[in-house]
Amino acid sequence: MNIIELKNIKKIYGKNSAETIALKNINLSIKKGEMIAIMGPSGCGKSTLLNIIGCIDVPNNGTYSLNGQEINKLNFNKLAKIRNKNISFVFQEFALLKEFSVLDNVILPLNFRKMTFKEKRLSALKYLKKLQIEDLANKKVINLSGGQQQRVAIARSLVQESELILADEPTGALDQENGKNIMSILKNLNKDEGKTIIIVTHDMNIAKYCDKIINMRDGVIL
């Protein structure tokens, strides 16, 4: 079964002389349990595509079905629920709350769930441990290095335990060893738990962990 189906997706930013056609005509199907890399030069539309798949942006044209459900037919509340429950997103710019602690940031997505505080805390600590940053739990994000912040962003996304994991350059700020650690965590989630994973990356060493590589240029898939 296809978890993701994009048909004739077009995305335009701005108007008139400031217009940018970020995605021209994207057709893409992704099966449940696939692990996919999206590659291509800067500005070719990778983040735009991932944002649409993650339901944090909407296309100007075309249809997007997630698990057989057409996204553009859903209201705001329904969409917010789907995002929180079904989609784990790792942002290119991390999007962390900088004045809050690491633990608070990782707990955040669980605040929309029916869980006790103790359950949330344990769950967050489990992922901090996985990413080898449990000793940073009580530190403010603003005081962390770029690579540490990136791992917090990944923990915050994985704690949702969603079936679909979307990661925009998840290893961009990391050294080789931490990059490898992240990729083996993602590969295990894919193999053992059947998670569908889409990773945007410039790095061939990261892409080779994936089953398939999608190459983009100027708003189209090659």
Ligand X SMILES: Nc1ncnc2c1ncn2[C@@H]1O[C@H](COP(=O)(O)OP(=O)(O)OP(=O)(O)O)[C@@H](O)[C@H]1O
| Closest residue to Mg ion in the complex (CB) | 47
Helix, strand or coil for residue 221? Answer: strand
Report the C-alpha gap between 134 and 91 in whole angstroms: 21
198 binds ligand X (CB under 6 A): no
Count, residues near ligand X per rule CB under 6 A: 12
Residues 119/93, Cβ–Cβ less than 8 Å: no
Q: Which is nearer to Mg ion, 30 or 200 (CB)?
A: 200
Instruction: Please identify which residue in 31, 43, 98, 112 interacts with ligand X, judged by CB under 6 A.
Output: 43
Q: Which is nearer to ligand X, 92 or 101 (CB)?
A: 92
Which of ligand X, Mg ion, none binds 138 (CB below 5-8 Å, type-dependent)? Answer: none
Which of ligand X, Mg ion, none binds 136 (CB below 5-8 Å, type-dependent)? Answer: none
Residue 149 carries which DSSP code?
Answer: H
Q: Which is nearer to ligand X, 5 or 57 (CB)?
A: 57
The secondary structure element, H or E, covering residue 82 is: helix 76-86
Report the C-alpha gap between 128 and 142 in whole angstroms: 17
How near is the Cβ of 208 to Mg ion at its closest, in Å?
Answer: 20
How near is the Cβ of 61 to ligand X at its closest, in Å?
Answer: 15
Residues 142-171 that bind ligand X (CB under 6 A): none
Residue identified by tokens 């990773």 is: 199
The secondary structure element, H or E, covering residue 153 is: helix 146-158
Q: Cα–Cα distances in Å, from 65 out to 7, 42, 52, 59, 166?
A: 9, 27, 11, 12, 16
Residue 203: closest CA among 37, 44, 76, 87: 37
58 binds ligand X (CB under 6 A): no
How near is the Cβ of 2 to ligand X at its closest, in Å?
Answer: 23
Strands (E), 14-60: 20-31, 35-39
The secondary structure element, H or E, covering residue 120 is: helix 117-130
93 binds ligand X (CB under 6 A): no
Q: Which is nearer to Mg ion, 107 or 221 (CB)?
A: 221
Residues forming the site for Mg ion (CB under 5 A)? 47
Instruction: Please identify which residue in 1, 15, 16, 42 interacts with ligand X, judged by CB under 6 A.
Output: 42
Structure tokens at 219: 């708003």
What does the binding site for ligand X look like in residue numbers (CB under 6 A)?
A: 13-14, 20, 22, 42-48, 92
